[in-house]
Amino acid sequence: MRIIDILRKDLKIILSDKKSLASMILMPVIISSILSFALSGSFGGGVSGNTSQFQIAIVKEYDDNEQVDKIHRGLTSSLIAGSFDDEQRSEIVENALDLDIEEIFFEQFLGNEELKKVVSYRVEDRESAMELIRNRDVAAVVILPEDFIYDMTINLTTPFRNIVDIQVIGNTDYIIGSEVAESIMSGFADMTSSMIIGKNIFIETALSKGANENAFEDIDIIIDNISGIMDNSGANVDYIQLEGKTPVNSFQYYAVAMTTMFILYAAGYGSRTLLEEKDNITYQRMIIAGTPQWKIASGKFFMMFIFAFLQILVMVTYSSLVLNVNWGNLINVVIVSLFIIFSVAGLGTMIAAATFKAGNYKMASVFDNLIIQIMALIGGSFIPLEVLPRFIQNLSFLSINGIALKSYLRIMMGYDLGSVVSYISALLGLGIVFIAIAIFILKRKEGLRHA
């Protein structure tokens, strides 16, 4: 008796079961399509709903002391100084130096109670910040430019406009987190623009109350200029993806999420088959014919392996052709898939052995109806993990689909195979552990054969 004969028979049985085929192959296709369209806004154009707190790193490219000197020099330079008399100039310099941009940015803006619920920050040098983002310890890095303090001070205390380019470097692993960081910094840019507008109105009003006419004889031009450049002045936010990696969209995410969830049903299906063979007496008939038990169990393992592969093949083909999903490097996708399937088939074999030993289908039913749902939730198949509480994110490593999802997403983002070695090693390890447990259970079960 060859394992391939058992495998061929098991595959024929599953392929003749239209109900199972529909639920395990058509359902992920349908659900991923619905979720992709329904939640596309949450991925491409901002975030809605409750999110957990993201951490960002802030890099100060400026030197505090140097900035103070520069402000002093700038405000007493001929261009600016020429517009004011001595008294006004010294008052402007004094006010400018009193203005604490860092306090506005760090304490008033980022320290806002509402914002603190969404984001926390740490100040790092550029090198450390980039290390943190590479290690996925932060969702984004915000780089405040060399003249951040100077430019912001000029913008807020004089009618002049300097462009402030704030860079946000997003980590593509944090699909939503990096979007949130970008949104927050855009919010800061909008806020400072509002302050600048208010300040300009103030200056205009001050002029109307009798400021030196000579000093302000060109104020109309200045005001016009300010108004003219208002739209593109103040702080700009440039969003950059880490190391040129592409972020995934909702179609990609849910194609992967549903694939990794529904292949668990292959394990659920397989987990019943060993006991079904026994209930149908076909198991006993094979044993009587001298078929070793390990060959029967191996047939189940490979049946789940091939069926899960078929599920992935259908999902990859469908999502690529119909939803235009880019899965990334195909060879890497195949390699990652093989490890995922190995783990899934191992899990199914372990539950099949336990179900066989128990002599009833309770365990397989609990796996189908409860465990898969829990794994789907903690693995990020329903909702992206990063918006879930931190403890759930930590649990994701307990779910095959969670590890599988992370592996696929990284391949989609353009990472190489090396970046998923830890994931595929975990999948391989889990698969081996599951198979070892299955062997242990079945060896113990062999005693019952003689009962």
Partner 1 sequence: MTFLKVRELKKHFKDVKAVNEINFEVKKGEIFGLLGPNGAGKSTTISMISTLVHPDGGDIFYKGESILKNPKPLQKKLGVVPQEIALYPTLTGYENLRFWGNVYGLNGSLLKQRIEEVSKIIGIKDRLKHQIEKYSGGMKRRLNIGAALLHEPELLIMDEPTVGIDPQSRNHILDTVLELNKKGMTIIYTSHYMEEVEYLCSRISIMDQGQIIASGSKGELVEIIKGNKRINLKFDNISDTLLGKIKEISYINNVEIISDEVAITTNNGEAIFKDIINKVSETDSSILSIDVKKPNLEEVFLHLTGKALRD
Residues that bind partner 1 (CB under 8 A): 1-2, 5, 9, 12-13, 16-17, 280-282, 284-291, 449-451
Of the two residues 245 and 357, which places its CB atom closer to partner 1 in the complex? 357
Q: How far is the CB of 277 from partner 1 (least distance, A)?
A: 9
Q: How far is the CB of 8 from partner 1 (least distance, A)?
A: 8
Cβ atoms < 10 Å from Cβ of 134:
12
Instruction: Compare residues 287 and 338 and give the one whose CB is closer to partner 1.
Output: 287
Q: Name which of 14 and 93 has its Cβ closer to partner 1.
A: 14
Q: How many CB atoms lie within 10 A of CB 89?
A: 17
Closest contact distance (angstroms) between CB of 17 and partner 1 is: 6
Comparing CB distances to partner 1, the nearer of 221 and 451 is: 451
Residue 450 Cβ vs partner 1, minimum distance, rounded to whole Å: 3
Nearer to partner 1, 284 or 425 (CB): 284
In the complex, the smallest distance separating the C-beta of residue 443 from partner 1, rounded to whole angstroms, is 16
Phi-psi region for residue 46, left (φ > 0), alpha (ψ -120 to 50) or beta? left
Q: How far is the CB of 423 from partner 1 (least distance, A)?
A: 37
Nearer to partner 1, 296 or 395 (CB): 296
